A and B are shown apart, each in its own frame.
Chain A
């Protein structure tokens, strides 16, 4: 990790503007804008879905129609026009028999993202599922994984090949009626990733999905369903980018994790959706519902590095249903310019001897607003539950804001809860100290900020951690004031 501080970073800083802002010239098939039952039927038929799934979508749509967009989050934005969005866009040529068949331009896109599959195949042994706009493009390493009985494929494929598993678990952690965006996603989701790790299997490699919105005027509504059967283990990575566009793009995903008895899921996200330009124009609205359920002795660990999106609204949560289960949430959220983020977690302790840890590091720069919102709930029956929460905010300027909204609901007297919170302004003394040692201001900020986030970055898999460190530095370029 130490290596990046030098030349690599210097190179990165040269193109510190949002560097993923290019579009790919692939012919796409996009359905008409708007949302109604016919559109949902069209999406479902394009994907050749079974009737039960169409019913699931239609029911969700009916619920959604009755719901109102939530406005309790500490963010302000122009509400999306849901009839002005196309809910499905797919690159025209589909069904790749092998990696060689994949459109060269799409491969180019992937290598610009720094995730050339070939490279990854050879060097890192990471299996990648790449979701561009709405359709999953290629899943590598499938054979090797299938030898162990691991299923890792696009959501659409899972619907066709493993309908029983999908039907059994879909919507069990995030019900359709959960919230406005979860209902919307349940109605129109186009693709996503599916993963199943069989009993007792430790997945030997990191599984990874990259999401990218490419087509103008589209929304992305992916669905991730990840099941770790008893005593299984998996580490899953998720990366996100979008091209620079003047209009706001909507991203409303749902991620459901199921960690059965004794299983462990580690879910890491580096989110770098386009945050809008310096004046606050454009950028992705990231309204995501992520939740996992832990059965007995199971563990779910969420790690996220959030540097992108114009507006973020996201609370990866754990339901600690089984006794002795463990939930963890490690988060770094950076906001710059006009970005707004309202992010945190919910730890719902239902089982006995359940433990949760929350470490949240917020960094605000420019005129941005950064909020931590978290709930720790200890149920009446959750004897000996424990939670530790640490919530730090770092301010880079005097025009930005950092807010903390911790909620604690405790119904059991045996619970032990700890909450620590700090707010600090980046130290001019620290910067001066670095400058006096010959380290220029940008690098100094990079060092100090990465140091501040170290507890969280350490939780990321190696190659992701390096990427995250660079992202942090790039997003905060020129931000002290």
Chain B
């Protein structure tokens, strides 16, 4: 589904990603961990297509297409979803109107008819339950006056509505208490399918107690320096990142 090869990216002349390789297949959940400043959020932004970053080398293939060649909105319509670490507020635009616009943009792109109001509302009811999001929030302005936990749940709700092929969760656990964490994880797990995949970016292991990854990668200094099964996360939790750094230096 996703194949990243030797990816180099910089911002304001400073190189952040320095030759990153990653392959994600359908049905898989990959966790990306690493210390602060390793380039985790940069990876999420680069995949989504944020213009501030310049790709200097490498390639990213998404479902057989050149992802880097696509506009940001095109990537989204092709099925790439980013759950933001800091979801933005859009005053005056209701969640519902926002989502319906997004869904219909995607449907139009795929040559489908716009969703009917009835089907849409049924979908809203069903999927907001998934993340225990009060249906009242659906009528409020996008993220305006939402608590930290509600914003993150709203991200997962949007993900459920947009049915992406590949979801990138950027530190979705940050700022969440344990109950909110459980709810978010439940939502993500419920959406897991054979033909979809997720990349879960996190600083801590605790999210991975709930969203169990197939692979864990350690991102350090712009590269993936270690990959392993889910147990790697526990090891990182126990030992911290210093031993990884030493390993890298010694090599």
Contact = CB atoms under 8 A, between A and B. Distances in A.
Interface of A: 2, 5-7, 427, 429-430, 432-441, 443, 447-448, 450-455
B77 to A, nearest CB: 4
Interface string B143-186: 00000000000000010001000000000000000000000000
Contacts of A441: 73
Interface in B83-114: 84, 87-94, 96-102, 104-106, 109, 114
Nearest to B78: A438
Nearest to B83: A436
Contacts of B99: 437
Contact of A437 (B91, B94, B102): B102
Interface string B67-84: 000011101110001101
A429 B88 contact: yes
A433 B102 contact: no
B97 A438 contact: no
B98 A447 contact: yes
B48 interface: yes
16 contacts: A2-B97, A5-B101, A430-B89, A430-B90, A434-B98, A435-B72, A435-B73, A435-B76, A436-B72, A436-B76, A438-B73, A438-B106, A448-B93, A451-B91, A452-B91, A454-B92
A429 to B, nearest CB: 5
A175 B90 CA distance: 45
A5 B120 CA distance: 15
Interface residues of B, number: 36
B9 to A, nearest CB: 16
Interface string B32-59: 0000000000000000111100000000
Given A6-B100, A436-B72, A441-B73, 9 more contacts: A6-B101, A7-B114, A430-B88, A435-B76, A438-B77, A440-B73, A447-B101, A450-B92, A454-B91
Contact of B100 (A5, A440, A451, A454): A5
Contacts of A437: 76, 98-99, 102, 158, 162
Nearest to A10: B108
B88 A433 contact: yes
B6 interface: no
Q: Which of B51, B76, B99 has the most CB of A within 10 A?
A: B76
- Cβ-closest 9 pairs across A and B: A451-B92, A454-B92, A438-B76, A451-B93, A435-B72, A437-B102, A438-B77, A435-B73, A433-B88
A451 B106 contact: no
Contact of B102 (A429, A438, A453): A438
Nearest to A427: B88
B48 A436 contact: yes
Nearest to B93: A451
B196 interface: no
B105 A440 contact: yes
Contacts of B89: 430
B141 interface: yes
B97 A447 contact: yes
Contacts of A454: 91-92
Contacts of A5: 97, 100-101
A440 to B, nearest CB: 5
A438 B49 CA distance: 12
Contacts of B105: 438-440, 443
Interface of B: 48-51, 71-73, 75-77, 81-82, 84, 87-94, 96-102, 104-106, 109, 114, 141, 158, 162
B249 to A, nearest CB: 36
B179 to A, nearest CB: 26
Contacts of A452: 91-92
A452 B105 CA distance: 22
Contacts of B90: 430, 433-434, 447-448, 451
A432 B105 CA distance: 15
B167 to A, nearest CB: 12
Nearest to A441: B73
Nearest to A435: B72
A439 B73 contact: yes
B73 A2 contact: no
A443 B101 contact: yes
Nearest to A452: B92
A333 B151 CA distance: 32
B108 to A, nearest CB: 8
A433 B87 contact: yes
Contacts of B141: 451
A184 to B, nearest CB: 39
Contact of A439 (B49, B50, B94, B102): B102
Contacts of A430: 88-90
A340 to B, nearest CB: 26
A455 to B, nearest CB: 8
A267 to B, nearest CB: 23
B127 to A, nearest CB: 15
A6 B162 CA distance: 17
Contact of B109 (A7, A436, A438, A451): A438
Contacts of B50: 432
Nearest to B106: A438
Contacts of B114: 6-7
B86 to A, nearest CB: 8
Contacts of B87: 433
Given A432-B72, A433-B84, A451-B141, A439 B92 contact: no
Contacts of A448: 90, 93
Contact of A436 (B82, B92, B104): B82
A448 B144 CA distance: 13
Contacts of A434: 73, 90, 98, 102
Nearest to B168: A436
A7 B76 CA distance: 20
Contacts of A453: 92
